[in-house]
Amino acid sequence: MGMLSLSDCVEVRIPAPWGHISGRWYGNRRERPILAIHGWLDNLGTFDRLIPLLPDYIGVLCIDLPGHGRSSHLPPGMHYSIYEFVYIIPRVMHEYGWKKVSLLGHSLGGIISFFYAGLAPHTVDMVISLDILLTTPLRDCELSIKKAAQDMEKHLVEEDRREDGNLHEPPSYTLPQLCKALAKGSNNSVTPELAKHLLYRQVTKSELYPDRFFFSRDGRIKFYHSIHTERGLAAELAGRIGRKPYLIIKGSMSPYLGVECEEPMSILAHNNPHFEFYEVAGGTHHVHLHAAEECARYIVPFIQHHRPPVLTSWSLRGKDLELSSKEQERYLARNRSLSSKL
């Protein structure tokens, strides 16, 4: 079995009413790939260290969510919410004519995957969730209301800033400064050394100052509306997912996947031989980025078990071995002959 290569990819642009969804399709493009969805404020570069550790017989389509990376921003006056992000999955499926989808999600991408799998379980064949399951309510109702009100005001301020940015270039910084800013914004879950994997898709070179860049992602996504999933809703969604193959990997140093997730995780695991949960020692929230090898130890066999190679995707010494149509027909004829004798 060979491994995927970051250089073996094609850039994709999936049309949407407001513009397009950008992505990169790695590896096998003859079969339905795994759809990989990044976390909040990130982009598809978050999977750069994980991709080369995955088997090459199956492709991986990594996308930038709206407002992130190189995907189009929503029109002025619109507000980002978890609903728009969840609807991206069936939009991608419709574009490529998929009846099923395999999901790999980190953080916000994992929440999106959980919600979609609960809403349309008949279209999902497996889910891999990195350091997340769902967003749980703030325990302090007063604090929750206060935060929602502040986000509403900040969103309006960001809209004014966005309009001004159409006339004036935003503040720009050197790459080392941006690396430090990204690390600080992630609570050091992404180190300055790893920030390069995210920055190349979310910064634009300044036209005013040499060697300076500014963030090109939509500032409004900082104040998107998230669903703080109440216990009853979380339990119902988990129950609808049923016995679907579901892998969750947690970073041991991450605050996510706490006691609030115990009930839906218990429901996912109940009578489900295809549910797996692992914890990576020393892992932070971006566990797949700084501990990619450890994550791959669990992800690769999970993929091999639930999305094994099909006939036309076998590989030999890392190179695809494609059978001609006549060879495939002979292979199927032999199988039919053997079956008739059994």
Q: Which is catalytic among the residues 71, 107, 113, 254?
A: 107
Strand partners, 23: 12, 63
Residue 163 has what pLDDT? 75
Write out pLDDT tens, residues 7-62: 999 999 999 999 999 999 999 999 999 999 999 999 999 999 999 999 999 999 99
Cα first-last separation, the chain: 32
Residue 213 has what pLDDT? 96
* Amino acid found at 241: I
Domains of the chain are 9-309 (3.40.50.1820)
Assign 291 a pLDDT band (cuts: 50, 70, 90): very high
CB-based contact 86:110 (threshold 8 Å): no
Q: For residue 240, give every residue at least 6 positions away whose Cβ sits within 8 Å of its Cβ, in sequence order, or none.
A: 118, 119, 121
Rounded-to-integer distance, Cα 275 and Cα 195, Å: 32
The first and second tokens of residue 188, run together, are 């050091």
Catalytic residue flag (residue 107): yes
Write out pLDDT tens, residues 137-182: 556 667 777 877 888 888 888 888 777 766 678 889 999 999 999 9
The first and second tokens of residue 235, run together, are 């339990």
Residue 227 has what pLDDT? 66
